[in-house]
Amino acid sequence: MKTYRGARTALIVGAGVAGLTTGIALARSGWRVEIAEISPAAATSGWGLCLTGPSLRALDELGLADRCLAAGYGMSGITHVDVDGVAVDEVQLPRLIGAGRPAMVGIARPELHRILHTEAERSGVVLSRGLTVTAMVQGDLVGVEMSDGSARQADLVVGADGIRSAVRGLLGFEAPIDYHGQMVWRALVPRPVWATGVHQFAGKVNTAGLVPISDSRAYVFLTENGVAPNVLPDAELAPRLQQLLEVFPGRVEEFRSLVSASESVVRRPVQTVFLNGAWNNGNCVVIGDAAHAPAPQMASGAALAVEDGLVLAQELGRHESVDAGLEAFVGRRAPRCRTLVQTSVTIADLEQAQRHHEAYPLVDACHRRMAEPV
């Protein structure tokens, strides 16, 4: 049985955005941290992410915002384009890390993971791949059985294992995963020169957009409304996405043809989770998408995940006992995360009802709310 001596010990389950940033924040506060990640390989999935102001602010606190800006594409504006191809709204997002730096960054997922992994390892976090938890017993320490037959004794167990969290189940928490009748598409394409910010195009049925992720690349997104969460064969993805983009006028026509040569087209269901009630039990807690997974419309799931890591380390530092720290953490996080998940669902519903003009001010107001201090 593996045991830890000396410093307080944390076992984090899941090496996504939440797990890695929590590992970094705890390790810097003097914790000994191991992350057990079920996937045997580093994240290679090629789609991009838009990290909004709160993500950048939280990453800046970890000293990582500039690395993300260097690896991605910094920008500050969102252009909303109406069904007839006319730009109707230009939103400048607040620059939360200072007037001289952009409000948000588009970045390839593997780049973000590379930055977080490198920093976690530099901070002394041990990352064990191809490993998960199979059972947990609460005592003075949490006794954990691992999938390879080994065991751990830790002061703290953090479930950062995503929307289908196994830790959430082991803790006995029930949280339905809601599907919202939408599938979201992503495809990597060369960046058109005019794409210097996020562009969102309202369609008669679906919504499309473009987000730069480097000087040379951008990702196309499309939200497909009113469909079952079925899986399409890989060979059908690029032609089907092109077909769905055909009905959009104006600038979408310019990047539609680029999709056929895309190195990566993915299609995922819009699903949300919000864990009502406690997220913690004794010395165990769930964070990130395991506790609160928003619909991607607000592009803020990663922001919540990074903030979770920072706030968790802060509250554990402020409280003598781990369970008191976890209580304080959940009290601080739940209202903000609930607001974001609920707003993202409302926006998804408005999109499906073609009530885009009602969604824009809601998106704006929610970004302003998220800009408030954590």
Nearer to ligand FAD, 86 or 231 (CB): 231
Per DSSP, 114 falls in state H
Residue 248 CA to residue 244 CA, distance in Å, equals: 8
Two tokens, residue 291: 């506790």
Nearer to ligand FAD, 26 or 49 (CB): 49
Task: Give backbone dihedrals phi and psi of 358, rounded to 5 degrees, phi first.
Answer: -80, -25
Nearer to ligand FAD, 107 or 252 (CB): 107
Are 288 and 16 in contact, with CB atoms under 8 Å apart?
A: yes
Nearer to ligand FAD, 36 or 249 (CB): 36
Nearer to ligand FAD, 177 or 324 (CB): 177
User: Which H or E element spans position 137?
Assistant: strand 133-138
Task: Give backbone dihedrals phi and psi of 288, rounded to 5 degrees, phi first.
Answer: 60, -150
| Residues engaged in binding ligand FAD (CB under 6 A) | 13-19, 36-39, 49-51, 55, 132, 160-162, 166, 184, 268, 288-289, 293, 296, 299-303, 305
- The least CB distance from residue 15 to ligand FAD, in Å, is 5
Radius of gyration of the chain (CA): 21
Nearer to ligand FAD, 25 or 36 (CB): 36
- The least CB distance from residue 245 to ligand FAD, in Å, is 17
Residue 130 CA to residue 147 CA, distance in Å, equals: 9
- The least CB distance from residue 24 to ligand FAD, in Å, is 13
Nearer to ligand FAD, 19 or 46 (CB): 19
Could you tell me what percentage of the chain is helix, strand and coil, using 3-state DSSP and rounding each to the nearest 5? Answer: 40, 30, 35
Strand 9-13 vs strand 32-37: parallel, antiparallel, or unpaired? parallel
- The least CB distance from residue 126 to ligand FAD, in Å, is 14
- The least CB distance from residue 56 to ligand FAD, in Å, is 11
Are 80 and 73 in contact, with CB atoms under 8 Å apart?
A: no
260: left (phi over 0), alpha (psi -120 to 50) or beta: alpha
- The least CB distance from residue 36 to ligand FAD, in Å, is 5
- The least CB distance from residue 13 to ligand FAD, in Å, is 5
Count the Cβ atoms, other than its own, within 10 Å of residue 323: 16
